[in-house]
Chain A
C-alpha cells in the first residue's frame, strides 16, 4: 500500500479543515472496508487520510421530528440491532445484513455503504471509471456481465454498489452534508450522479464535504428489498429491488420502486411505480416487475439481468 499522512481529528470542524477541495488528494476513513482496499488497488492514492473515529456526534440512531436520524459513522451492526430501525424499516435491516460477513458488518458504516466506489473490475484493475485503454472503451466488447442495463448510454457503464441507497431513495430519505461553510440536506434521490470525467465521483458531494447522517421520514410505509445473487452465500447482488408503499383496503398507494446494481446510480423505476399504485399486492407484483424491466438497454453479456429485474421487483413486493 502506498504511504500517506494520517490524522484523527477530534471535531467535525477540524476534520473539514483538513480536507482538500480536490477529489483524491485527501480521503475520509470510517470503517475502512472499502477505502483500504481501494488504496491497495491504486484506485486512489491520497496524500492524507482523515479518520472520523474521534469525531463526536457522527454515530448513533435517534428519532426526532418525525424522522429517524442515523449518524454517518453508525456501524452496520448497530443499524441492524436497532429496535426503531427493525420496527419501521425492516427492508433496511435486510439490506444491511446482506452487505457482508460479520467482519464487514462490524467494521462498515452506513455512510460508507453510500460512498463506496464501484466494484467494476475494469475500474478496480487500473482502467479508470470508464474502463478505458488506448482511448478505447473496454466495457462494450469486454466482460460486461455485471455492468449496467440502464443509464449506460454514456461512458459510465459500472453499477452503483450501495446496498442501502435504493431503499433510502424509496423511503424519501435525506442525506445530511456538512461543508467548510454550510450545512445542507440532499434528497437521497438526488445524491447519486453519473460522472462524466474521471476526476468526478459518483455522488453530489464536494471533496471537502462530509456526510454527517441520514434522515428517514417515519411515514409508516411498508418496505422491503430483494437481492438476486449467484449463490446464497455472501456475494454482490446482480440485481436488487427496493420497494416502499402504503396499503389500505388491500390496495397499494404512494408506491416507490428503486433498483440497485443495474445502473451507474440507484435506478428509480418510475413505470413500476405507476403500475403498482391502486393495485392489490398480488396483482401488482408481477406487473410492476415487468414494467420495471421496460426500457432496459443491456450490453453484450448482461441481458440476463433484465429478467432478474422482473423477479427482484416481484419478490420484493411479495416479501414486504
Chain B
C-alpha cells in the first residue's frame, strides 16, 4: 500500500468526478470498486452500518495520509503492521497488557491492539518511526542507546513511544512516578533499570 501524495483518498471524490477521471475506457472492475468505496465511505459518515467485508479506511500515520481497504474488525495494530508496513508497533499479547503495540493517538498513548483501525480515522497516529530516524534520533531514542536500555529490543518501540509521552507530561518526575507512569509496558529481558533512567533523566532535563 503506497502513501497518498495528497490528502484526498480516492473515495472522497464524487462518483461523477471519479467516472470523469477514469474516462469511458475504464476497466469495469476498477470502476465498480471506486463506486463501492465511495458508497461505503458515505454510509460510514452517515452512521449506517458498514462491513463485515473490507471498507475504505484513511489513516494519518506519522504525518502521512495512508489508505487501505480493511474489515471494520481490523485493529489499528494489524492495519499498521500488516497493511501499511509500519512495523515499529509490535504484536505481543494482543489484549492491552504488554505495551509493545503502544502508539500515540492525537498525542495520547494507547494500545493499538485495542483500537479499531476504522475508529482511528481523522486522528494523528504516531509510532516509533515517527519520532526519529537512525540518522536523526529523538532525545528519547538517543537516550535509550546511551543508557543501553534494551536487550532483545522487541518491546523497545512501544517503550520509546510511552517514554516520549511520559516525559512530555511529567516534568521533574520522581523515580516513583516514573515507575508508576511507565507501568503500561513490559520488558521480558528486564531492562527496566536503563529505561527508568532514560525517563527520569529526560523528565529532569525537560527536553524530550
Binding site for B on A (CB under 8 A): 1-11, 14, 18, 29, 32-33, 36-37, 39-41, 48-49, 51, 53-54, 77, 100-104, 106-107, 233-234
Contact = CB atoms under 8 A, between A and B. Distances in A.
Contacts of A37: 95-96, 114
A3 B51 contact: yes
Nearest to A234: B183
Interface in B159-190: 162, 165-166, 179-181, 183-185
Nearest to A49: B72
B68 interface: no
Which of A7, A8, A40 has the largest count of B CB atoms less than 10 A from its CB? Answer: A8
B72 A32 contact: no
B148 interface: no
Contact of B184 (A5, A14, A48, A102): A102
B118 interface: yes
B41 interface: no
A103 B109 contact: yes
A210 to B, nearest CB: 14
B31 interface: no
9 contacts: A1-B73, A7-B50, A11-B47, A36-B96, A102-B166, A102-B184, A103-B96, A107-B110, A233-B180
A1 B49 contact: no
Contact of A1 (B47, B75, B105, B166): B75
B75 A102 contact: no
B48 A7 contact: yes
Interface in B76-115: 94-96, 99, 102, 105, 108-111, 113-115
Nearest to B51: A5
Contact of A7 (B47, B110, B181): B47
Contacts of A54: 47
A3 B52 contact: yes
A234 B180 CA distance: 8
Contacts of A103: 96, 99, 102, 109-111, 162, 184
B108 A106 contact: yes
B51 to A, nearest CB: 5
B142 interface: no
Nearest to B47: A9
B75 A33 contact: no
Contacts of B12: none
Interface string B105-131: 100111101111011000000000000
A2 B50 CA distance: 15
